[in-house]
Amino acid sequence: MREAPLTDPACEAIVGLPVEGEFCFAPIRGRHWTASARAYHWKAVKAAAGWAASLYLATRHFAGWYMVNVLDLPSEDVAIALGHTDGGELVRRLYGHRDHERALDRVTAAYGRISLSQDRPC
């Protein structure tokens, strides 16, 4: 079993579901998702959303990107949340590429926290 952090609305939605087995979401037979069972359901979600690319991977990529860039979490923490065991390497390489503008905003904000009494060359 693995813990997965959730937002309050997501947690409330899941808590309201009936418990039918060890997995939060399972296909009709109750076992873990196979690739074909997962594809069947994601195809319906993709069609409803009008999305042409892989929605299954897009949601995971967005979660990794959001945790790194918006929540400003270290890649090691994001890796644990996503169930990775590589210390954050996959997050840094695949999901966690820093957004250029957000990175510059963080650097500017960090400089803004420096006391004006400190000696600075610029």
CA atoms of 70 and 67, how far apart (whole Å): 6
Q: What is the pLDDT of residue 119?
A: 57
Q: What is the pLDDT along the chain (122 residues), one digit of tens a residue?
A: 667 777 888 888 888 888 777 777 777 776 677 777 777 877 887 888 787 777 666 778 888 888 988 898 999 999 999 889 999 999 998 876 778 888 888 889 888 887 555 555 55
Domain boundaries, the chain: 8-112
Q: What is the pLDDT of residue 62?
A: 85
Q: What is the pLDDT of residue 56?
A: 64
Q: What is the pTM of this model?
A: 0.60
| Integer CA distances (angstroms), 67 to 9, 90, 93, in order | 17, 14, 14
